[in-house]
Amino acid sequence: MPPDRWSTSLAENPRVYDAVQRLAGQSIVYRRIARVLAPAPGETVLDVGAGTGNLVRILPPEIDYWALDNDPAKLHRLAQKVPRARCLQGTALDMGISDAAVDWTVCVAVAHHLDDRQLPLLVAELARVTRQRLIFLDPLAATGPGAAALLWRYDRGSHPRSERTLLDRLSRSFEFEHVERFRVLHRYVLCSARPIGAHSVGHSSYEHRQRPARVAGDPSRR
């Protein structure tokens, strides 16, 4: 088996997956997310592409945690780690839950697994199910040689994008409240946003919607 396929196959093991996430700086990434993810007691949080449920570490115990993933092995591991979770097997393009079903939706490192045809479908589905707020994070395309470029070689996702491309697509369905970028091996963009007009799809670009958002980070690292 070629090295790239071997590493990808190994990472599909739920326990190996957890170890890889720790080595990749997941705890630092989650500390960033925790600053903008603040559900109230009793609210519902949907974790899209939940993996083995590591997001629950930064969630208050009083919330209703829903975990969506297409990998039954990871969901099995998640149910062992987080018995209170509502586990949903499905895809981010067809979640199988009702409109405005959840208060918060968290979509971490999912978009780069989807091609350009699928990305608009993801955004539309996120807007459809989210009642209050979306927390979105994705690694950005590497702009030159270095650790990030090496990581992309072994990442299962093969569609890294620029910050502008991601936020422009999101802005068609969401109003940004906070946008930041940071680096932990990869460069990341993180945003908090509200669905436009009770889940209707807007048509303005990121260029026109970015000004009201609180923006943090070093612009030179975009």
Looking at every residue in the chain, the average pLDDT score rounds to: 81
Whether pLDDT at 99 is above 70: yes
Cβ atoms 181, 221 nearer than 8 A: yes
- How high is the pLDDT of residue 20? 46
Which stretch of 89-93, 95-99, 210-214 has the lowest confidence by average pLDDT? Answer: 210-214
State if pTM tops 0.85: no
Whether pLDDT at 193 is above 90: yes
Whether pLDDT at 196 is above 90: yes
Top pLDDT among 188 and 158 is at 188
The Cα–Cα gap between 203 and 207 comes to 12
The Cα–Cα gap between 23 and 15 comes to 13
- How high is the pLDDT of residue 185? 80
Domain with 75 in it: what CATH number? 3.40.50.150
Q: Which helix (H) or strand (E) holds 136?
A: strand 130-139
Give how far Cα 52 sits from Cα of 56, 100, 135, Å.
10, 24, 18
Q: Coil, helix or strand for 91?
A: strand
Q: What is the pLDDT of residues 23-43, one digit of tens each?
A: 445 688 999 999 999 999 999
Which stretch of 14-23, 106-115, 159-168 has the lowest confidence by average pLDDT? Answer: 14-23
Question: Taking the C-alpha atoms of 19, 24, 30 and 31 in order, what is their torsion angle to the nearest 10 degrees?
Answer: 120
Q: What is the pLDDT of residues 43-91, one digit of tens each?
A: 999 999 999 999 999 999 999 999 999 999 999 999 999 999 999 999 9
What's the mean pLDDT in 81-102? 96
Looking at the structure of the chain, the number of domains it has is 1
- How high is the pLDDT of residue 184? 84
Residues of the domain holding 159: 3-221
What's the mean pLDDT in 99-112? 97
Whether pLDDT at 5 is above 60: no
